[in-house]
């Protein structure tokens, strides 16, 4: 259990570098977040396919994934939807509010879904763990800037809720899939499906808006490669491996380390100051994750 939580927590930490990375690329190149997401997906799938080819697993992975194509397609589509809606919400209402709504809604939704599946009321311990994690998330987000909200935040809030729901559902559907297939197969297959959605969407929208489709800035391309290889290919491989021994609800709580990491990066490298609320919130999230390892049981194959 602890091994799975450690891997998922590491994925959350890696995801915490996405925001600063996207900001760097946008500032240096002028590329839009959706276009960056498209190029990121291309980089991720390219390296995953090369790894599968180099290890002689490409044909085997295709054969195995084909027998689980429904779950593979759902995980890939939910992953793409999560990223697209998250970026829409960020543009509409800002990073902080999007993070609170999307990442806060995900564990609550999974707690409800899990209770419905088990036909039981959530235990007090489960409820407290989610509550502590959400309190920490709210305090960490106080560190961010809520001043970028638009006059009509309805679209942004709805997009953030949709993003959180897509993330929760992708994790829930991926849990049994990760216990039926090896990590490389799951990652290659699901990220390929996600790329099929993200790449044309980013390119088409950028073209319709008359945005710049490329850049000559070397730093931007290096960061995009990092975003694809590390924050998508590697991070999702860690997530799927962790799901083998960790319940999906615990996984979603553990990945709340993402905003904690983003705050740490802002403090260490961007000259920001850590508020007392941010510090307390970070500690609450870590405490909630630590509590998961003491109470969770290893899920059985489904």
Q: How far apart are alpha carbons 90 and 87 in whole angstroms?
A: 5
Model confidence at 135: pLDDT above 90? no
Whole-structure pTM value = 0.83
Question: Which parts of the chain fold into alpha helices (H)?
Answer: 2-15, 18-29, 33-54, 58-66, 69-93, 95-118, 124-142, 154-180, 183-208, 218-228, 235-242, 248-254, 257-269, 276-295
Model confidence at 290: pLDDT above 60? yes
pLDDT at 2: 63
pLDDT band at 147 (very low <50, low <70, confident <90, very high): very low
Model confidence at 273: pLDDT above 80? no
| Residue spans per domain, the chain | 2-295
pLDDT at 299: 43
DSSP 121: P
Residues 6+ apart with CB under 8 A from 292: 5, 129, 250, 253, 254
Q: How far apart are alpha carbons 133 and 204 in whole angstroms?
A: 38
Question: Of the ranges 145-159, 171-185, 224-238, 270-284, which one carries the lowest mean pLDDT score?
Answer: 145-159
CB neighbours of residue 41 within 10 Å: 27
Mean pLDDT, the chain, whole residue set = 83
pLDDT at 96: 66
Average pLDDT of span 58-80: 95
Q: Which residue has the higher pLDDT, 39 or 97?
A: 39
């Amino acid at each position: 259990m602890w091994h799975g939580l450690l891997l998922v927590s590491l994925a959350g930490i890696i995801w915490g570098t996405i925001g600063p990375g996207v900001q760097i690329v946008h500032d240096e190149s002028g590329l839009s977040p959706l276009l960056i997401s498209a190029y990121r997906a291309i980089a991720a799938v390219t390296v995953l396919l090369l790894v599968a080819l180099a290890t002689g697993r490409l044909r085997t992975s295709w054969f195995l994934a084909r027998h689980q194509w429904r779950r593979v397609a759902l995980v890939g589509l939910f992953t793409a939807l999560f990223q697209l809606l998250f970026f829409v919400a960020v543009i509409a209402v800002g990073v902080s509010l999007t993070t609170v709504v999307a990442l806060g809604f995900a564990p609550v939704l999974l707690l409800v879904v899990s209770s419905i599946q088990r036909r039981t009321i959530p235990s007090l311990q489960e409820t407290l763990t989610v509550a502590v994690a959400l309190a920490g998330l709210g305090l960490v987000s106080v560190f961010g800037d809520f001043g970028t909200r638009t006059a009509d935040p309805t679209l942004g809030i709805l997009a953030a809720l949709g993003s959180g729901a897509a993330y929760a559902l992708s994790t829930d559907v991926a849990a049994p899939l990760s216990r039926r297939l090896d990590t490389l197969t799951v990652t290659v297959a699901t990220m390929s499906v996600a790329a099929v959605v993200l790449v044309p969407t980013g390119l088409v929208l950028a073209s319709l808006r008359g945005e710049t489709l490329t850049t000559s800035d070397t730093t931007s391309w290096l960061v995009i490669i990092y975003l694809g290889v590390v924050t998508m290919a590697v991070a999702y491989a860690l997530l799927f491996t962790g799901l083998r021994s960790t319940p999906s609800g615990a996984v979603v709580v553990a990945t709340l380390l993402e905003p904690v990491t983003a705050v740490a990066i802002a403090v260490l490298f961007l000259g920001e100051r850590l508020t007392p609320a941010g510090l307390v919130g970070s500690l609450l999230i870590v405490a909630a994750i630590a509590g998961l390892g003491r109470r969770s049981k290893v899920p059985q194959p489904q």
